[in-house]
Amino acid sequence: MSVRLFNTLSGQQDEVTAADGDVLRMYACGPTVYDFGHIGNFRTFLQVDILRRTLKLTGMKLRHVMNITDVDDKIIRNATAAGIPIGEYTAKYTQAFLEDLASLQIEEPEILSRATEHIPEMTALVEKLAEAGAAYKTEDGSWYFRLAAFPEYGKLSKKDLEGMTDGARVDVDEYEKDSARDFALWKATKPGETSWETPIGPGRPGWHLECSAMAMKYLGESFDLHAGGEDLMFPHHENEIAQSESVTHKPFARHWFHVRFLLVDGRKMSKSEGNFFTLRDLLLKGYRASAIRLALISVPYRHQLNFTFDGLTEATNAIDRLRTFVERLKGATLAAGTTDELQAAAAKAEAEFVAALENDLNTAEARAPIFDLVRTVNAALDTGKVLAGDRERALEVLAKFDAVFAVVADNDAAPTAAALAWAEASGRMELVAPELLARQSITDAEIEGLIAERNNARKQRNFKRSDEIRDELAAKGVMIEDSREGVKWKRK
RNA sequence: GCACCGGUGGCGAAGUGGCUAACGCGCUGGUCUGCAAAAUCAGUAUUCGCGGGUUCAAUUCCCGCCCGGUGCUCCA
């Protein structure tokens, strides 16, 4: 049992291993908390979550660090515009980010580290780089990394520095750099900007620096795996490697995991295209958190995912099939014992599920055996061939599936309720879909009452009234099933 | 321009040098039901963008072309 993953650095599939033979040490680039997270962000975090959960499934222990970038140009700009300290500004979006992770059933890393709480670690790294001759200070007090000091630059993204044009873009505040490609480690204070008094002078950290400093603080100079979105490969991760390895002369991370960008309706998501969605946007349109999760994880991480509302609907329906199955199985009256066929079917599904995940996290392939098992057991249930021991085994396999996919257990009410509360509190009710409001407009007690009335109508064979009630409930997203065991209902 | 990725049924999406090309959603029909729903069964790609080539055999390998997308700049 071992997970094989594509490694950007080696360019091939490598087995994921813990160098210390015990705990896998991994670092994943987290969000810059200047706004609410969008589904593109979450596809990456979700795929890292799949990785996390798969590794745990195979018995690995984890020490996973994720940074929160709580100081950067956009944050300073927005906080200044809002007239509040950046700490206050970022606290709000950090909180929102953590809530969104919870909504999507994304496990929190063992360690969440904020950039602004690691300034000393960062300046110390700059000092070490300066000692090694890889960093220099310019006249305005900024510090830069000297690319020429790191010949291996480009080894991750397979870029050839020679072929890159020098000086194509130079920021106004970077005119003093030795080479246009040298990148900022530490930015000198500008008037009115947040800054820290430090041994290397006043200023604030460049973006890349925090990840090197924090990764090494919590994971050591060399660790097992580093994850992030594909866009970070260059230059961010390349810069992290340069900053770290110039000091340690050890491989920074052995395995690099990059998640492909998603598209929305076939285009890159952007605010100007009008195809930009935050998690809240989707919840308020009436989609459930689990469907968003499933839609974003069902396409393997190395492939481009085209996000559509049809895809969300499909995911919703697929989840319903699984949830209905689990309920049916749990509620069935079964005799004790096991059958060879169903035990074998469960074992096969379990083995294929795990094997697919171990094969570079092939989530699309991993789903298939689970649905196969559902069909097999449903069919057996129809003909009364399932025994209690078969049920236990099937539920065990479903639980294993959900330990990674986390969509069958229904945790959808809270995220939707929270999104609605947010919309109300922030005066954004126009974002709420009418269907969602309709669904919220009926209480469980009212539903039960209508169902009781419908049952009476049915007893009297007054099907007209019975169907009216069913339609009325359907309009409010309540689905009814008349089963042998009585009437069942569920909200959409 | 340079680099990279993809083009599989109505849609999404696996996969493999040679078993009936997974799985999900949808649709059509049967069973069940007062009717539905759920479930199940059957059908839904004689075929994997197009044209060549290699091979006993290619959707799978190679070449060319067409189409779509992405990166090369802040970005998950």
Task: Report the alpha-carbon distance of residue A126 to residue A137 in Å, rounded.
Answer: 10
CA A25 from centroid of its chain's CA atoms: 18
Looking across all nucleic acid strands, the nucleotide with the smallest C1' to CA distance from residue A298 is B13
- Range scoring the smallest mean pLDDT among A17-21, A270-274, A468-472: A270-274
**Rounded mean pLDDT of A338-342?**
96
Residue A42 has pLDDT above 90, yes or no: yes
Residue A143: HSE in the Cβ half-sphere, 13 Å Cα cutoff:
28
Residue A172 has pLDDT above 90, yes or no: no
Looking across all nucleic acid strands, the nucleotide with the smallest C1' to CA distance from residue A207 is B74
Q: Which nucleotides of B are covered by protein (CB under 7 A)?
A: 5-6, 11-15, 22-26, 33-41, 68-76
CA gyration radius, chain A: 27
**Rounded mean pLDDT of A82-94?**
95
Whole-number distance in Å between A312 CA and B43 C1': 27
Looking across all nucleic acid strands, the nucleotide with the smallest C1' to CA distance from residue A318 is B24
Task: Report the alpha-carbon distance of residue A23 to residue A25 in Å, rounded.
Answer: 6
Looking across all nucleic acid strands, the nucleotide with the smallest C1' to CA distance from residue A374 is B39
Task: Report the alpha-carbon distance of residue A410 to residue A289 in Å, rounded.
Answer: 10
Tokens of A298: 């069902």
Task: Report the alpha-carbon distance of residue A259 to residue A264 in Å, rounded.
Answer: 16
Q: Which region, left, alpha or beta, applies to residue A133 given φ > 0 means left and ψ of -120 to 50 means alpha? A: left
ipTM: 0.94
Question: Using 50, 70 and 90 to split pLDDT, how confident is the model at A55?
Answer: very high
Pairing of strands A61-68, A111-114: parallel
Q: How many CB atoms lie within 10 A of CB A437?
A: 14
Q: Give residue numbers, 211 to 240 of A, with CB < 7 Å from strand B.
A: 228-232, 234-236
Report the pLDDT value the prediction gives residue A166, as an integer from 0 to 100.
39
Residue A433: HSE in the Cβ half-sphere, 13 Å Cα cutoff:
15
Task: Report the alpha-carbon distance of residue A113 to residue A102 in Å, rounded.
Answer: 17
| Residue type present at position A327 | E
Average pLDDT over chain A, rounded to an integer? 92
**Rounded mean pLDDT of A329-345?**
96
- Report the helix count and the strand count for chain A, using DSSP H and E: 16, 16
Report the pLDDT value the prediction gives residue A170, as an integer from 0 to 100.
38
Q: Where are the alpha helices (DSSP H) in A132-267?
A: 207-219, 238-248
Backbone φ and ψ for A459, nearest 5 degrees, come out as: -60, -40
Of the candidates A103, A105, A91, A41, the residue with the CA atom closest to the CA atom of residue A277: A41
Q: For tokens 């500004």, what's the residue?
A: A89
Q: Please tell me whether the peptide bond between A109 and the residue prior to it is cis, using omega within 30 degrees of 0.
A: no
Whole-number distance in Å between A303 CA and B70 C1': 11
Nucleic acid strand B within 7 Å of A77 CB: no
| pLDDT tens readout for residues A411-448 | 999 999 999 999 999 999 999 999 999 999 999 999 99
Q: For tokens 């920021």, what's the residue?
A: A171
- 3-state SS, residue A14: strand
Beta-carbon contacts of A323 under 8 Å, excluding residues fewer than 6 positions away, are: A408, A410
Beta-carbon contacts of A338 under 8 Å, excluding residues fewer than 6 positions away, are: A387, A389, A390, A393
**Rounded mean pLDDT of A311-332?**
96
**Do A299 and A359 form a contact (C-beta atoms < 8 A)?**
no
Q: Which of A32-41, A152-161, A366-375 has the highest mean pLDDT?
A: A366-375
Residue A112 has pLDDT above 60, yes or no: yes
Backbone φ and ψ for A336, nearest 5 degrees, come out as: -70, 160
Tokens of A200: 């290397």
